[in-house]
Amino acid sequence: MKIIKQSIRVGSKVSLILLDWSVRESFHFLHYLSKQDVNRDLFEVIVVEYYSRISEAIRPFHDEVDTWVLLEMPEDCYCHKHLMYNAGIVAARGDICVICDSDAMVKPGFIRAIITEFENYPKAVLHIDQFRNAREDLYPFRYPDFSEVTGIGCINNVGGKTRGVVDDKDPIHNRNYGACMCASREDLITIGGADEHIDYLGHICGPYEMTFRLVNFGRREIWHQREFMYHTWHPGQAGIGNYVGPHDGRYISLAAIDALVNGRVLPITENQTIRDIRLGNLPDVNLESFQICSDYFRQWNVEKFLSSAQQSDRQHSRSVWRGFVIDRDGDGFCAYLKLAENQLFSQLHNKIELCANTISELRRRLFQRLPLSIRLVLPIIIFLTYLSRGVGLGYLYIQKRFSSLTKVPAK
Amino acid sequence: MNFRLRLHRRWNQFCIETSLRLDSFLGVVVNLYFSRYKLTSAVQIIVLVDSWREMLLLGLLRILTVIPRHKVYVIKRSNDIYRVVSGGAGQNLVFVTNSLYSKHYQSLLRSDLKPSLVII
């Protein structure tokens, strides 16, 4: 790890953590930070580079960067953003950590809005959604007006707000959880920082993983209703061709959903430095003390992690299968009914508890444990679900195609 | 993006989504079955699902007496949760599918249902 620049600011309230993994062509977010309507000492800017590149894109805004660190990960190691989040959290001196896009535009009241929101709701995790414009003529970035980004080509402008913020049908997929996440540094340390588990390697990751665990910790998730970020099109923004970890079919990490659903607060794989800070084992917290587990160099190797051997090693310590909770127990696995976690049904815990050496054996035994009536209806439910979903999605697709063909263009 | 790649991505998405939803729904069915063992008459079971298909399947299983008596609500929007709360569901045991919970966790956690939730 190499520290190019370290913050000398005192009394910053907000620490902005910006990431790069040798891909960023523009850091124009820094330009907009220089236009903020608050005292510059109220916030600090931390740039974390995953590899060893000293980005030329930062040079025009060099004075705006307070801390600049290169993690110097080997070139054959795939990018893991959560490691960078943790480095940023360790480097942060402000009470509020902000993890956001470094190629987005913000209005002059951005930092003020964050500070005000935390003054009103100190026990919150704040998200700020992003207007996205798909016009390719806005690339390379040429500092368009905000109204230009929300105008023609904007894919999510619904009456001056983002579609995600107004959506109440499927917010988890319609909101941009990765655009900007703000949380108290103390809270982030308490929940063990970002999860460095291998499932978050590559494109399927983001600060929402911490949001979910903060919600489980009792923090209130808030989406700002008036402040937004603005993003213009650039090549590779959709992450096509990147490695993707396990996701729910719509690019939200399964490990993060698992944490949310199971009420987990601590990460599966915690960073050693964050752990030391959390447990009070590190009296003098500074960026030099940030540790990167040496096993990652081998585990996150581009060629190695794609091999089947690595994939099979991904069993979490706790998972749910067909309503049974499966816990890793030493060398084997134990399963019990999810319902038994409820106080009213705690006696079921002993009644239906099975152990086995392998997951497949456990699943086979669990299936045999089910009554005949359930074993008979399960395949029917599976068949009917696939059939109805298939027919339903096919109908929607045809309806969409047909309506686009018959639509009369507006004059 | 060419047609084959788009088709492949859509098919992949369909398979993953369906298998996850199915796993969660089957979990609800299995847990509902076993709930009969300790169910006292004072406790009423409510199931929250996010599709009419799941509601119909649960109704069918109820008619076939595979699973015990329960109430089902289909939650399409966050506001629908308040309809359940106003119906007095706060005193009962509420089964929620994984997919529904991940969509509406904010409303569910803020509602009176929180203590009685069983997320599967």
Going from the C-alpha of A64 to that of each of A7, A51, A52, A339, A368, the distances in angstroms are: 11, 21, 20, 53, 63
Sign of the CA dihedral running B109, B112, B118, B120: negative
- Assess contact for A230 and A157: CB atoms under 8 A: no
Helix, strand, coil % in chain A, rounded to nearest 5? 40, 20, 45
Q: Which residues of B touch A371 (CB under 8 A)?
A: 33
**Per-residue pLDDT at A406:** 66
In a mutational test of the A interface, the residue from B93, B105, B110, B111 whose CB has the highest number of chain A CBs within 10 Å is B105
Yes or no, beta carbons of B13 and A323 under 8 Å apart:
no
Question: Which pair of structure tokens corresponds to residue B25?
Answer: 């729904």
Q: Counting beta carbons within 10 angstroms of the beta carbon of residue A198, is it exposed (0 to 12), middle (13 to 18) or buried (19 or more)?
A: buried
Task: Give the ipTM of the model, two decimals please.
Answer: 0.91
List beta partners, residue A319: A326
* pTM: predicted TM-score of the whole model, two decimal places: 0.92
**Per-residue pLDDT at A411:** 45
Torsion of CA A245, A247, A253, A255, to 10 degrees: -80
The Cα B63–Cα A58 span in angstroms is: 66
| Per-residue pLDDT tens listing for chain A (411 residues) | 999 999 999 899 999 999 999 999 999 999 999 999 999 999 999 999 999 999 999 999 999 999 999 999 999 999 999 999 999 999 999 999 999 999 999 999 999 999 999 999 999 999 999 999 999 999 999 999 999 999 999 999 999 999 999 999 999 999 999 999 999 999 999 999 999 999 999 889 999 999 999 999 999 999 999 999 999 999 876 655 678 888 998 899 999 999 999 899 999 999 999 999 999 998 888 899 999 999 999 889 887 666 544 444 455 677 888 999 998 877 889 999 988 888 778 888 877 888 999 989 999 999 998 999 999 999 999 999 999 999 998 898 888 888 776 665 544
Closest CA to A117 of A227, A218, A16: A227
Yes or no, beta carbons of B30 and A337 under 8 Å apart:
yes
Q: Which residues of A touch B118 (CB under 8 A)?
A: 338-339, 341-342
DSSP character string of A182-247: EEEHHHHHHTTSS---GGGSTTS--THHHHHHHHHHTPEEEE-SS--EEEE--TTTT-TTS---SB
Tell me whether B70 touches chain A (CB under 8 Å).
no
CA distance B104 to chain A (A): 8
Q: Which residues of B touch A344 (CB under 8 A)?
A: 38, 43, 93
The Cα A406–Cα A411 span in angstroms is: 15
Nearest CA in chain B to A349: B34
Going from the C-alpha of A272 to that of each of A97, A277, A279, the distances in angstroms are: 19, 9, 10
Yes or no, beta carbons of A338 and B79 under 8 Å apart:
no
Q: Which residues of A touch B34 (CB under 8 A)?
A: 337, 339, 345, 348, 352
The Cα A188–Cα A214 span in angstroms is: 8
Going from the C-alpha of A357 to that of each of A91, A169, A223, A313, A349, the distances in angstroms are: 43, 41, 45, 15, 19
CA distance B22 to chain A (A): 7
**Average pLDDT per consecutive 10 residues, chain B (120 residues; last block may be shorter):** 82 92 94 81 85 94 92 92 73 86 91 85
Yes or no, beta carbons of A381 and B29 under 8 Å apart:
yes
Tell me the residues of chain B between 72 and 101 that have a Cβ less than 8 Å away from chain A: 76-79, 93, 98, 101
**Per-residue pLDDT at A345:** 82
Give the SS3 label for residue A166: helix
List beta partners, residue A98: A16, A182
The Cα B91–Cα B85 span in angstroms is: 9
In this structure, which amino acid lies at residue B52? W
**Per-residue pLDDT at B7:** 86
Q: Which residues of B touch A377 (CB under 8 A)?
A: 29, 61, 64, 66
Yes or no, beta carbons of A338 and B27 under 8 Å apart:
yes
Yes or no, beta carbons of A323 and B105 under 8 Å apart:
no
Nearest CA in chain A to B65: A373
Nearest to A344 among B38, B79, B120 (CB): B38
Q: Which residues of A touch B101 (CB under 8 A)?
A: 260-261
